[in-house]
Amino acid sequence: MSTIKVSAYRWVPPFAQGLVRDLRVRWALEEAGMLYEERLLDFRNKPDSYRKLQPFGQVPTFEQDGLVLFETGAIVLHIAERSTLLLPPDPSARARATSWMFAALNSVEPSIMSLIQIDLRFAGDAAATQVREAAVDAVKSRLESVAAWLGERDYLEDRFTAGDLLMVTVLRILRHTDMVTTMPALAAYQERCETRPAFQKALAAQMAVFAENAATAA
């Protein structure tokens, strides 16, 4: 098997550092104990040919032995299917974990991304205030549902899975707000997952690339 290649940005502005979605793939690979190398791109100047790997021109992609994957959900699932550390062997437990992977990306991330669009594009715009309130309510409602489900649990199911991995990377997007930190159970859940050595290695790897390229890219 050839070495896995993951696309990532050479550098991004600080507000996005630690959030770029190749983090999800790096984390999954670290959990699974799989080595990878990076295909680094300039986020302002991606070659047209990159769209042959990722139709929307986004990162990350995953390449191995001629197989090219895009969309973090699909990539993390592909990795998880090869590691019982990310998906349990029992078929029903696997299916439950997969439900949480989709829930993170389909039921939680969209409302968070709506809020991000408002906060990044219309920061300080009075007209956006009312829209923002509705967006905040939508995010809160999803967060409350996740927190209610978690209850006293450490993880979404009875052990860490790729569902937690994706959920936590989605929750991280809210770091410019206090929406997670003011929900102690959710904050503790995020911290519990983020203290995993595999997450720390993945985050350090993404940040190391930005640090190496900071002088030339900013």
Ligand X SMILES: N[C@@H](CCC(=O)N[C@@H](CS)C(=O)NCC(=O)O)C(=O)O
Nearer to ligand X, 135 or 183 (CB): 135
Q: Kindly tell me which residue out of 58, 98, 111, 206 binds ligand X, with binding defined by CB under 6 A.
A: 58
User: Smallest distance, Å, CB 101 to ligand X?
Assistant: 11
Stretch of 55-63, 96-104, 185-193, 203-211 contacting ligand X, by CB under 6 A:
55-63
183: how many CB neighbours lie within 10 A of its CB? 19
Q: How far apart are CA 110 and CA 67, in angstroms?
A: 28
CB of 10 to ligand X, least distance (A): 12
Residue 53 vs 59, nearer CB to ligand X: 59
Q: Cα(63)–Cα(30) distance, rounded to whole angstroms?
A: 16
Give burial (CB, 10 Å; 0-12/13-18/19+) of 46: middle
Q: Provide the total of helices (H) and of strands (E) in the chain, helices listed first.
A: 8, 4
- Point out which span in 51-59, 90-98, 124-132, 184-192 binds ligand X (CB under 6 A): 51-59
Residue in 72, 161, 190, 206 binding ligand X, rule: CB under 6 A: 72
Question: Contact between 116 and ligand X (CB under 6 A)?
Answer: no
By the rule CB under 6 A, 202 interacts with ligand X: no
Site string for ligand X, 19-38 (x = CB under 6 A): -xx-----------------
DSSP state of 1: -
Number of residues that bind ligand X (CB under 6 A): 7
57, 122, 185, 196: residue in contact with ligand X (rule CB under 6 A)? 57
Nearer to ligand X, 21 or 172 (CB): 21
Closest by Cα among 174, 154, 37, 171 to 104: 171
Long-range Cβ contacts of 107-113 (<8 Å, 24+ apart) = 107/142, 108/142, 108/143, 108/146, 108/167, 108/170, 108/171, 109/170, 109/173, 111/135, 111/138, 111/139, 111/141, 111/142, 112/139, 112/142, 112/170, 112/173, 112/174, 113/173
**Is 71 or 81 the residue whose CB approaches ligand X more closely?**
71
By CB under 6 A, residue 161 contacts ligand X: no
Q: By C-beta, is 71 or 194 nearer to ligand X?
A: 71
Residues that bind ligand X (CB under 6 A): 20-21, 57-59, 71-72
